[in-house]
Each structure stands twice: as structure tokens, then as C-alpha cells.
Amino acid sequence: MCSDQSPSGPLVVDVVVPVFNEQHSLSRSVHRLHARLRESFPYAFRITIADNASTDATPSVAAELAASLPEVVWVRLERKGRGRALKQVWSGSPAQVLAYMDVDLSTDLDALWPLVAPLLSGHSDLAIGTRLHRDSRVVRGPRREAISRTYNLILRTALGASFSDAQCGFKAIRADVAAELLPLVEDPSWFFDTELLVLAQRCGLRIHEVPVDWVDDPDSRVDIVATAAEDLRGVRRLQRTMDTLPLAAIRDRWGRTTSGAGLGAQSVRFAVVGALTTVLHLGLFAALNSSWMGWRAQTANTVALGLATVVNTAVNRQWTFGVRRREGALTSQVQGFGVFALTWAVTAVALGGFGFLWPGAPTVVSTMVLAVATVTSTAVKFVLMRHWMFAGPAVSTVPPVPPVPAVSTVPAELTGPVTPAGPEPEPGRPRLSQPVG
């Protein structure tokens, strides 16, 4: 285990650099990162090289860096996986803030201080770099840009994610928050980031986003197709298991509340559900209107809209607004029919007025008029669902956190490597600054 003290005081920030077969770029990147932190970072820091089962000369390079550079240590893990490496190193780190960045340093290092400062002040619980903010400056190909945006859209739709960029390799978390969340994170690979952020959001924790300058690494060896498939499997697993995790207990301990998905995610989900149930509504209307006699248009519309409303309310309750408990389901349906009454009134007036202007109009034209009327009532329907039927409590203020050391400049003459000290590590936990056999 590593000492809680560095040559300049208690260890405040631990920057982990996970690597796999990076013998050519590791030394250059760590020297650059170390020089930047020594020159400009105001707190005691450590750089931890997390070698997850490299098969090239990466362990030798990491050992040489740890021996020659102060504040640099390394960990050797015999099983591959970025998520596994981060979870293991973060779990054993004595630092108050735990960060990581990709070894290629695609993210400009000027963003490191804005990343960790909100965590040290207690303003936020996690911080992430985002390449999708309007103030970010990103250089990468259109294929990777499209994949990134599509993936984050899937997260918003499927998991209600309110953060903008799940996979940017530039993140930080407070150690006390990590102690709560890391035991719940299962993925050992690339989905680790997404899983951690989704759990944090569901616990009502505050996620700070930092726009970054980011240049794509042309030598990246990430298998995009395989990673995307793995991430989608992770999304599906989280959908199935989220309700079994003790997130409510964590919220209670931290005094947080959460209303689930943010406005953007709820809007997307509501639109998807609305589109599908509108197709159901219009299909039923067209079928009934073609076969019923008498007041067939009004009657067909009432029956079709009623059935679509039951489906719409049930799906929106559980998926869009995250209300999964059985209690109150009947009340929601009653409220849903209150919204149904509004929608029916709008569509009935539209059909009645159109029928007065054009008696005996073809079914296809009546269906088009009905579609316009339905879309018109959608905005009001969303507001009623969000603020009346499925309203949740607002996120509470952030509670106080333990104080951090006062800002002090790292002395230029700082010398001496950070070496392991204290008792022997727990069984199964790697010792820093030496490989694990």
C-alpha cells in the first residue's frame, strides 16, 4: 500500500494512466504529464501507470519511469481491461480525488485543473471531459464523430443519461464518492465509464462537465465495432439490473434526491413513445373508420385514442419518467385519461370542424387532420406528464465535504520517488511501484 503522504503533504490527486502494450508512447506521455503537473499543479499529486496485462515492453518502461521520476508509481495487473485497472487502483488509492486520462493525451492538459477543481471545492462529485460541448474543439474523423454522438443518443434514450459524453478518456471522481459507487460497477472494460456515470446520476450526484480540446490519436488500436457491441450489451444489462442496486440507500446517505432522466432525455423518450402510440392510434382509427356506421369518425377516434392512451401512459410512466413501482399505477392511468380528455377534445374539435367544412371527406384526409391535431396537443401533454403526473423532487443541494488542504505551490526542488510504505497490501491487491507476480 502507498503512503498517504507525498513529499509535499497529504496526497490530494492521483492521476491514473491505464495502458496496454504502449511501449512506444508511454515514456513520452508520462514525461509530458509529469512536467506539466510539476510546473502548474497546486496540490500534491501522483501519477499511477496502470499496466493491465501488457505483453510487450510496457512493464519495463513503466518500472523505469517509476524509478526515475518523483510522484510516478506503477501497478501491474495480470488481467486485461481498462475498467478493471481503474477500479482496482482507485479502490486502493489514498488520494482525495481520483482521476484518469488516456495515455495518448488526446485531451489538452490545460483542462486538468478545471476537471479536478470542482471536486476539491466540494461543488461536484464527479467531473468529465466532454468533446460534444459547443465550446469544445475537436479534431477527429466523421466516422468516429458519428459513432460518438449516436452512442450518447442511445444512452439518453435507453438509460436517461443527462451527461453529454460518456467515453471521453478524461474523468475524475472524489474518493468518498468512488467508495460508494465502485463496488456496484461490474464492467471491466470500456463500458466502465458509462456504468459509473449512470449510477452516479441515479444516485443524485452532481456531474461537472468540462469542454475540452481533443485531437484524435491516428494510432488508436481500439476496435470500434467490438467496443460498440460490448457497450450495447452493457446498456441492456443496466436496464435489467438497475432496479436491483442499492441506489436509494446511497441517495439517503448523501441526502440526495433525483428526478431520474433530465429534460433532454425525457423529451427524446417521450417523442419515441408518442410516435409509436400515434401510429397505433392512427392505425386503429383508420381501420375502425372504414368499417363502422353512423358517427364513425368520432366513435373510431374515441376508441382508438383510448386504447393508445393506456399504452402511452404505461410506457411513459416506466420508461420516460422512471416510475417503476407498482403503487400508483392505477392513479397514473386515471390521470392519463385526464390528459386523454384534453387530447380527445382537441382532436374532436378538429374533426368536427373539418367535417362541417367538408362533409363526407375521404378517410385519408380525415386521418391527416387528426394527425395535425394530435401533434398540436403533444407539447401540452408532455408538460402535464412531467410536472403533474410523474413529477419528481428536485435535486437537493450538495452536502458539505471534508476540507482539503490549502492551495500551495509544489516546490521546484521536490525530489524523491513515491514508494510503497506502511503495512502489507491486502491479499489480491497489487503493490504499487512493482509488478504483481
Closest by CA position to 289, among listed 278, 279, 299, 277: 299
- Quick check: 179 pLDDT over 90? yes
- Quick check: 403 pLDDT over 70? no
pTM tops 0.75: no
Contacts of 352 (CB under 8 A, 6+ apart): 298
Query: How far are the Cα atoms of 104, 143, 145, 221 from residue 216, in angstroms, in the given order?
Result: 9, 12, 10, 12
How many Å apart are CA 10 and CA 117, to the nearest integer? 17
Q: Is the dihedral of CA 148, 149, 155, 158 positive or negative?
A: negative
Half-sphere exposure of 171 (CA within 13 A, CB side): 22
Quick: pLDDT tens for 318-331: 777 767 667 777 88
| Type of residue numbered 371 | A
- How high is the mean pLDDT of the chain? 80
Quick: pLDDT tens for 55-87: 999 999 999 999 999 999 999 999 999 999 999
- Quick check: 245 pLDDT over 80? yes
| Type of residue numbered 116 | V
Q: What is the 3-state secondary structure (H, E, C) of 57-68?
A: CHHHHHHHHHHH
- Quick check: 215 pLDDT over 90? no
Q: Beta strands 170-174 and 97-101: pairing type?
A: antiparallel
How many Å apart are CA 271 and CA 209, to the nearest integer? 26
Q: What is the pLDDT of residue 173?
A: 98
Tell me which of 103-112, 346-355, 425-434 is least confident: 425-434
pLDDT (mean) for 95-110:
93
Contacts of 148 (CB under 8 A, 6+ apart): 131, 132, 165, 167
Among 298-312, 335-349, 416-430, which range has the highest average pLDDT? Answer: 298-312
Q: Which run of H or of E encompasses 336?
A: helix 329-357
For the chain, which domains are there?
5-254 (3.90.550.10), 263-389 (no CATH)
Q: What is the pLDDT of residue 264?
A: 67
Q: In the chain, count H helices and then E strands.
A: 13, 11
How many Å apart are CA 76 and CA 220, to the nearest integer? 22
CB neighbours of residue 157 within 10 Å: 18
Q: What is the DSSP string of 199-211?
A: HHHHTT--EEEEE
How many Å apart are CA 199 and CA 414, to the nearest integer? 39
Contacts of 120 (CB under 8 A, 6+ apart): 12, 43, 96, 97, 404
Q: What is the pLDDT of residue 420?
A: 34
Contacts of 427 (CB under 8 A, 6+ apart): none
Q: Is the dihedral of CA 27, 29, 31, 34 positive or negative?
A: negative
